[in-house]
Amino acid sequence: MVNYLIVLFAVTLIYFASAERLSTYVRLVALQGLLLCGIAVFELKEVNLANLLFIVAETLLFKTMLLPYLLSRIIRKSGVTKVHRQAVPGFYLLLFSIAGLLISVILAVILVNPFINSIYLAIALFTLLTGLLLIVTHKLIISHLIGFLVVENAVFLFSLAIGNEMPMLINIGILLDIFVGVLILGFFGLRLKPHTNELTMLKD
């Protein structure tokens, strides 16, 4: 069962590179949260029940429902144009994404380790590279936020890979989630403008 979820996760990453609208991004992030919840349920068998329930609740509530809801409210409120502006045309983004997939597979083979499941390692690296790619190739702040969310999913997946040995890591990953949630709430509180690239461009 886990295998289906992992492969579906990889497919969502491909769609990140080819998606056009910001609302698609938000839906993909929600889907990824759901998949991560499923993976956590099936994979972590040696963790005690309370911790497992906490992890499941967190991924379900936070990643799948709360964060996407906040993001979509920001998108609607700030009237961001539906199609996100990119610095790099979509075709090349997809080519880089393919390159990222190949690099992560090769790295996973080089870094083989008896404690880590290499499939998790490969997909986690691919997620990391996709997140970085999103941040580097887009101009809007909201796109950077979403890229950061994807990177954070990667960290969560890394921690799941060795979660049976060190359950503390997963909890630290969840703290990272909460940190991002605070970031996003900041957009409401401070009335920053996420549909510009003001915060990311250096001004003199």
Name which of 86, 68, 71, 69 is nearest 19 in CA terms. 86
| Cβ nearer to another protein, comparing 34 with 105 | 105
Of all helices (H) and strands (E), which one includes residue 131? helix 118-137
Residue entry with tokens 């989630």: 177
For the CB of residue 90, give the shortest distance to another protein in the complex, in Å.
Answer: 5
Q: Which is nearer to another protein, 92 or 188 (CB)?
A: 92
Q: How far is the CB of 101 from another protein (least distance, A)?
A: 6
Site for another protein in 127-156 (CB under 8 A): none
- Which residues, 93 to 122, sit near another protein by CB under 8 A? 94-95, 97-98, 101-102, 105-106, 108-109, 112, 118-119, 122
Specify the amino acid at residue 76.
Answer: R
Q: Taking CB under 8 A as the rule, does residue 165 contact another protein?
A: no
Q: How far is the C-alpha of 147 from the C-alpha of 6, rounded, in Å?
A: 19
Task: Choose between 28 and 141: whose C-beta lies nearer to another protein.
Answer: 28
By CB under 8 A, name the one of 48, 49, 79, 91 that touches another protein.
Answer: 91
d(Cα 99, Cα 89) in Å, to the nearest integer?
16
What is the phi/psi pair of residue 138, to 5°?
-110, 160
Comparing CA positions, the residue from 81, 112, 73, 101 lying closest to residue 16 is 101
Q: How far is the CB of 102 from another protein (least distance, A)?
A: 7
Site string for another protein, 21-60 (x = CB under 8 A): ----------------------------------------
Residue type, 122: A
